[in-house]
Every structure is written in C-alpha cells, then in structure tokens.
Amino acid sequence: MRFEKRFLMQRLFFIGFWLATCTGFVSDLFWGNNTISPLTTISLLTVDVILLFLAFCTVQKSVDFLLIGSFLVIAFVSGFIVNNDSLVVWLNGMRYFFPVLLMPPILRYFWATEYRHDLFVKSFDKQLYIFLWLQVPAVLFQFFKYGAGDLVGGTMGGWYSGTLSFTIYYASFYLLNKRIDSNNVLVSLYKNWTLVFLLFPTFLNETKISFALIIAYFILLLPIDRKYLIRLTFLIPLVVVLVGIGGTFYFSTVNGEGTLELSSDFFSNYLDADIDDMQGATEYADKNFDEQFDIPRFAKLAIVPLIFNELPGHDLMGFGLSLYRHGTVIEASDFHHEYEWVLQGTSPQIMSSVLQLGIIGTIWYIVFFMSFFMVKPSLYPSRNLNMQVFFFLAVVILLFYADFWQNPNFCYVMLTFHFLSWKKSDDEREQQSITVIQQS
C-alpha cells in the first residue's frame, strides 16, 4: 500500500483542531477554570508542534516565504536588538503568532489540487457540524454551573466565550451558505433550521458582539446581486424576530451582578492624568474587588500612546514578543511586570500588535491580512463575496475587540472559513457539470 502524504497532513490537521477546540472543557472539569492545567499545557504545545510540522512540510508558495521571512526579521530585531530578549523568551513569544502565521501555507497545500481540496472539505464539513452540536450540551452545562459569562466557552473551556461566539457564527454561516437557494431563502432556512438553532449557545455566554454577528449572519446569507435589496425586505422580519429572541435570552440570563467594569465616565477622569494615576486606580480596584479588573477596550487603546511616551525608543519595533506568552516556567518580561495592569484581560488586536512589534509590525499585520484577499488559490480564483465580506468584518471588529488571532481554536475555524470562500470560476463549474451530464 502506497503511503499518501495528503492523508497524514489531513489527519494531523484535524487532530490539532480537536485538541485546540475541546481540551479546555475537559481541563475545566478536572482542574478548574482558573488554573493552567497540565492537560492545557500539553495540548497547546502539541498543537504548536503540529502546526510547525505541517507548515514545514507544506510551505511552497513564494508569498508564504516572503510573509513568514519578513515577520521573522521584524521579530528578530524587536526581540533581540531592541528589547534584549533571551532566546527562550523569544521562542516562547513566537508561539503567540504561530496559529495565524502558519495556518495559511497549510491550507494552501490542501487547495493546491482538486483531490486534496475535495477530500479536505468533505471531512471538514462533517467535523464542523459535529463541533457545533457539541457546543449545545457543553454550553448548557457551563451556564447552569457558572451562570452567563466568560466561563461559558463551550468545549473550548472557560474564558473562551468570545472566541466561541465568533466560531459558532462563522461555522454555521459557512454550512448554511452552501445550502441556500437564492430564489427560496426562507424555504432554505426552514429546511436547514438546525444550523440556525445551533446559534443558540451564543446567547448564554454574555458576549454582546453576538448581536452584531447575528445581524451580519442573516444579511450576508443573501447573494449580493441586483435582487439583494428585494430579498432583504423579506428577510428583515425574520432577523428582527431572531434578534428579539436572542435578546430575551441574553437579558434574562445576565443580571450584571458580580461584574466589575470601568464605565467610560469613570475612566475619563484619568485620561488627562499621568499613567501612574491610572495604574494606581487599577491596582486599587484589583485589591478591593473580588473579580479581576478589566479595563475597557477603548480605554486601553487610549493608554497605549501614554506607554510609548513614558518609554521612548520603542515606537517602531515595540516591546518584544514576550508580553502575552509566559508562564510558571518561562519568566515574564520586565515590561509585563510593570504594565500587567493594562495587559490583563482582553486586548484589542491593534493594541497587542503595536505593543509587541511597534508600527512596523502593525504595518506587516495589515499587509498580511490584505494578502488573504489578494492571493488567490490557482484552482479556485473566484470569490464567494458574502463569505469574504463576513470574514473582513471579523478582521475589522477584532482590531478593536480582541486578539483572538493568537488562539489556535479560533484560527482553525476562521482561516479555514476564509480559504473556503475561494471557489472555481462559474465557467469552470458549468463545464464540469456538462461533463458529468455527458458521462452519465
């Protein structure tokens, strides 16, 4: 029996997928959700090794060599020359970028031939559908045990509520988008009602972003053509009903008690003060309240320029790769010890990019994501415009919402979703249909 490289690559890819998306829930059951368990540590390291191995075996395109190579140069200068990081700290910090950096060449490998592509998509569709169903019992268990909040992350585990909401919407959208009849949208929704039902867990974890995602979800299900506005008028009532149902669940399960959050009015008192005043206010709240203090996202963005003013010379290359990746074995950087009060909690993507790699690294990030829309797989040059608009919406939202691109569980679904938005040209698909008919 001849060994097939594609089989090994695909099996490893999906092993990494299930490790990334399911071990969190198991870890929470046995070690609690406030502890980095041995299972979590081993799982994350295994996923990193899988991604490294797959990328090493599959990287072939010049665009991937260019993007990965340029990133390594920026990371080298930022880590070793500007910030004097040790090799161990630098390598550990690199893990923050592994998922988003290494996934594209792996997916390009599967998109290189029709054979690999078709087998991959067939398997991915089945496993994605199973993943969506697994979230229902997992989320219900967490909801009744912890209440609505950050600990309701489904099979991903506690503190992944936002990541889960994004992945549920995009996974369900992809599967439903394949089944939509543009001339009978409501009938298609009725026939595929289970995919709509599987959005239900997102209203039990207190992620406000779900309200924006559900509106975009239904609006973008409609083909963007001349009849778009006409179709939209028929779909709007359904969207209003579903948002209303979701809102009812959300507001009936979230009472706001025990949640500490700075209001914009509270924090505006400190925007004109110096950074020491803001640090003192944050540390005071940490010591005098039960829950971890999480500075609002836009307030964090306002703090970033103040940090660069206080520590000049880091504007172009940032403060290195060790700000968000450290643990009990690898010591955190001096910067992290000094500014942990602003790094803790959720960081918008633009904030984490600027702080780690400076202006140059942020420009690289922008070019990197632009390449997703500009570099077409040779066999699949046509865009599914609806899927790419939805993906672009996620990229823009996350700039100011969260740095989910560091999470392999997020990238496994989201980056695959983007590659699935590339399809054969209409002429080629029509010719294939004619060929099949003639052969039959």
Question: Under 8 Å CB-to-CB from 274, ≥6 apart: which residues?
Answer: 306
pLDDT of the residue at 242? 65
**Residue 375 contacts residue 271 (beta carbons within 8 Å):** no
pLDDT of the residue at 274? 53
| pLDDT, averaged across the chain | 85
- Average pLDDT on 107-135 reads 97
pLDDT of the residue at 81? 95
pLDDT of the residue at 297? 83
Least confident of 225-229, 282-286, 330-334: 282-286
Extract the tokens encoding 104.
Answer: 């594209």
- Is the confidence at residue 328, as pLDDT, over 90? no
Instruction: Compare 423 and 2 and report the one with higher pLDDT.
Output: 423
Q: Dihedral through CA 137, CA 139, CA 143, CA 149, nearest 10?
A: 180
| CA of residue 278 relative to chain centroid, distance | 30
- Which of 145, 143, 126 lies closest to 135 in space, CA to CA? 143
- Is the confidence at residue 280, as pLDDT, over 70? no
Instruction: Compare 229 and 199 and report the one with higher pLDDT.
Output: 199
- Is the confidence at residue 427, as pLDDT, over 70? no
Least confident of 251-260, 300-309, 374-383: 251-260
- Residues 23-50 have pLDDT tens digits of 999 999 999 987 789 999 999 999 999 9
- Average pLDDT on 127-156 reads 95
Most confident of 119-123, 206-210, 287-291, 428-432: 119-123
- Residues 70-88 have pLDDT tens digits of 999 999 999 999 999 889 8
- Average pLDDT on 207-226 reads 85
pLDDT of the residue at 428? 63
| CA of residue 308 relative to chain centroid, distance | 27
In DSSP notation, 68-126 reads HHHHHHHHHIIIIIIS---HHHHHHHHTTTHHHHHHHHHHHHHTSSHHHHHHHHHHHHH
Please give the Cα distance from 253 to 136 (Å, whole number): 16
Residue 190 class from Cβ within 10 Å (0-12 exposed, 13-18 middle, 19+ buried)?
exposed
- Average pLDDT on 161-168 reads 96
- Is the confidence at residue 323, as pLDDT, over 70? yes
Please give the Cα distance from 110 to 6 (Å, whole number): 8
pLDDT of the residue at 285? 52
pLDDT of the residue at 411? 98
- Is the confidence at residue 276, as pLDDT, over 70? no
Residue written as tokens 């969190």? 24
- Is the confidence at residue 153, as pLDDT, over 90? yes
- Residues 228-275 have pLDDT tens digits of 666 666 667 766 776 666 666 556 655 544 343 444 444 444 444 455
- H or E stretch covering 410: helix 408-419
pTM of the shown model: 0.88
φ and ψ at 218, to 5 degrees?
-80, -40
CB atoms near residue 110 (< 10 Å): 23
**Residue 304 contacts residue 350 (beta carbons within 8 Å):** no
